[in-house]
Amino acid sequence: MSKPWPVLGALLLAGCALGPSQKDAPATYDLGAPRSYVASQPRILASLLVHAVTAPAWLDTPAIVYRLNYQDAARQQAYANSRWAAAPAALLTQRLRGRLAAASDGGVIVAADGARADYTLRVELEDFSQAFDAADASRAVVTARASIVNVATRTLLAQKSFSIERTAASANAEGGVRALGSAGDEMIEAVATWAAASLAREKK
């Protein structure tokens, strides 16, 4: 009796089709659509070199970090199926430069321009994570430190720490992303307002 090769081949093909299905790609988030900033007061009259926002190694990745404070607040965790489109510091850099440009008459410069500036601004991101105080309750936590340096004198003009928290609408990645985006925008607004005021006092 001949062997049923056609039948066997069909079964093998069917077995391949029934194998592990391809996993869905992780959901990717950013801070929302680019914002349009209106001209604000006080104006920044000096040219300002705005460095890229920096972050510690654990935060300098696209991972959306969260902490279960009710279990172990010292343990950093990341969502497996959700991530940022870029590291948070990079996303915040774009927003910060856009916001400062709207307040500047002297111009906002980046390091790649190779141009001299009157002052430099550095922002160090210290935390950008979702904190769970209970299994069904979380909040966004954004902390950063900003420094302004006078380029001519190489002296520190001003330095300030910022801490923003926003309650998340839902205790999941999407809720954390929305709350972090809102807190990030508030932090940028606070840094821009502080920088403009600090430079205005310097010019008096």
Distance of alpha carbon 90 from alpha carbon 94, whole angstroms: 7
The residue assigned the tokens 């190489």 is 154
- Whether cis (ω within 30° of 0) applies to the bond prior to 42 is yes
User: pLDDT tens across 96-145, in order?
Assistant: 999 999 989 999 999 888 889 999 999 999 999 999 999 999 999 999 99
H helical segments located in the chain: 5-17, 88-102, 173-203
pLDDT at 6 over 50: no
Q: What pLDDT band is residue 184 in, cutting at 50, 70 and 90? A: very high
Average pLDDT over residues 180-199: 95
User: pLDDT tens across 66-80, in order?
Assistant: 999 999 999 999 999
Whole-model pTM: value is 0.84
Paired sense of beta strands 108-109 and 27-29, if any: unpaired
User: Crossing angle of helices 173-203/88-102, nearest 10°?
Assistant: 40
* CB atoms near residue 103 (< 10 Å): 21
- Contact between 126 and 144 under an 8 Å Cβ cutoff? The reply is yes
Does the 45-203 domain belong in CATH 3.40.50.10610?
yes
pLDDT at 17 over 70: no
What proportion of the chain, given as a percentage, has pLDDT over 90?
Answer: 73
